[in-house]
Amino acid sequence: MKVSASSIWKSVKDIRQRSPVVHNITNYVVMNNTANALLAIGASPVMAHAEEEVEDMVRIAGALVINIGTLSPHWIRAMLRAAHQAKKMNIPIVLDPVGAGATDYRTSTARELIEEVPPAIIRGNASEIMAILKEDAKTKGVESTTSSHAAVDIAHELNRNYGSVICVSGETDYIVNANEVTRVLNGHPMMARVTGMGCIATALCGAFAAVNHAFAEAATQAMAVMGIAGEIAAENITGPGSLQVRFLDVLYRLSEEDIHRYLKIDG
């Protein structure tokens, strides 16, 4: 798989022209951030988690994003209903196992979702990805306790077991599919000081997967755009508050020239 600035730009244009509906069953900490980021890139976000409507909402979506950040039993039931509907309709599912490894409840929920309906893409930090398969993997709250590189072997195993593209995010993002590993080197340290940036990355994976069903490529494109926007937004800021606002502006105004100038991909 070779991801170029031109291919990324093509997908950005496709999102802006087609405005795919991205159905998010996500946590209430990041709903506003996630919806605004999807709007900024050109997608149409829907935040719907009621069991009574998720199947209907999936029917109009281009992608389903499931994020386990704020769990409760009825949300889990809704996630499973939506995932099964998406599978019936061949709609890509992107899973964010937020905080897997922090509690048994989170870890078992992530595993159940993956076992029931393997997602097209699983995106998480190293600790979350490792916790899906390793009983002794631990997460500090929703933050990773290890580097992204440390989870690459586990990512390969997850990919072999379930067929999902695995995206391990961190200072370097690793996208693992079959025997391929692609590294995305874009991003800025200040992004870690803004809540929900990882959740936004997952939502962007959904937007790109909606227009590009080569899911490893779609995940790589999304992470590259995420990192590039973060780098540009971090120029001449005073702190995380201004980064958050500028990030949305950069996503909205992102150009082909920006992608060519900033893109750093290896693989």
pLDDT of 61-111, one tens digit each?
999 999 999 999 999 999 999 999 999 999 999 999 999 999 999 999 999
Residue 152 makes CB contacts below 8 A (sequence gap 6+) with: 168, 174, 176, 181
| Geometric angle at alpha carbon 76, from 36 and 86, rounded to 5° | 70
CA 251/CA 81 separation, integer angstroms: 32
Q: 39 to each of 146, 200, 228, how far by Cα in Å? A: 32, 11, 17
pLDDT at 146: 58
pLDDT in tens, the chain (267 residues): 789 999 999 999 999 999 999 999 999 999 999 999 999 999 999 999 999 999 999 999 999 999 999 999 999 999 999 999 999 999 999 999 999 999 999 999 999 999 999 999 999 999 999 999 986 655 544 444 456 788 999 999 999 999 999 999 999 999 999 989 999 999 999 999 999 999 999 999 999 999 999 999 999 999 999 999 999 999 989 999 999 999 999 999 999 999 999 999 997
Tens digits of residue pLDDT in 246-263: 999 999 999 999 999 999
Amino acid (1-letter code) at residue 17:
Q
Domain tally, the chain: 1
Q: Give me the domain span that covers residue 17.
A: 5-266
Question: Using a CB cutoff of 8 Å and minimum separation of 24, what contacts does 174-181 make?
Answer: 174/148, 174/149, 175/216, 175/219, 175/220, 175/223, 175/267, 176/152, 177/1, 177/215, 177/216, 180/1, 180/216, 180/267, 181/152, 181/267
Give the model's pLDDT for residue 138.
53
CATH (domain of 59)? 3.40.1190.20
What pLDDT does residue 139 have? 52
- Residue 141, pLDDT score: 45
